[in-house]
Amino acid sequence: MPLKFYEDRDAFKLFLLDCGLLACMTDASARQMLIGDNAFTEFKGAFTEQYVLQQLLALGLKPYYWSNTKTPSEIDFIIQDSQRVIPVEVKAEENVRARSLAQFIKDNPGLKGLRISMKRYVDQEWMENIPIIAIGTYFEK
């Protein structure tokens, strides 16, 4: 069944369509973004999610957002391609934990999650991890 049937317009996240606009709005300098000082560390997750969203949209995908009304868990994006529904968790670091994704997969057997991070490719039974630079090629499968 298409994800559109489950769409809740009251559950959403706002994004800009450009990482540069996000940087400008946060007054982040190019130096902070490239070198990654302590001030930028707080925004790294937002910039990473922004970049991933831009890539997903460029691939013609329509990402949805999911949050649990009973617990503070969320899934950054849920995507539906021609064959599957894919819950996507985005991490800005190599040291990653995907508790919300793991719980979502546990609650929805039959789905396999996707974590996009700085880590190398890893294929586990419940989830695949792909490096952030491989987003485009992953969806060419």
Higher pLDDT, 140 or 112: 112
CA distance 125 to 117: 18
What are the C-alpha distances in Å from 9 to residues 52, 57, 108?
A: 21, 19, 22
Q: What letter represents residue 75's amino acid?
A: I
What is the percentage of the chain residues whose pLDDT exceeds 90? 38
CA distance 84 to 79: 8
Cβ atoms 22, 47 nearer than 8 A: yes
Cβ atoms 19, 54 nearer than 8 A: yes
Q: Which of 8-22, 26-40, 62-76, 100-114 has the highest mean pLDDT?
A: 100-114
Higher pLDDT, 47 or 13: 47
Q: Is 103 left (phi over 0), alpha (psi -120 to 50) or beta?
A: alpha
Domains of the chain as residue ranges with CATH: 45-138 (3.40.1350.10)
- Per-residue pLDDT of 40-70, as tens digits, reads 666 777 788 888 999 999 999 999 888 877 8
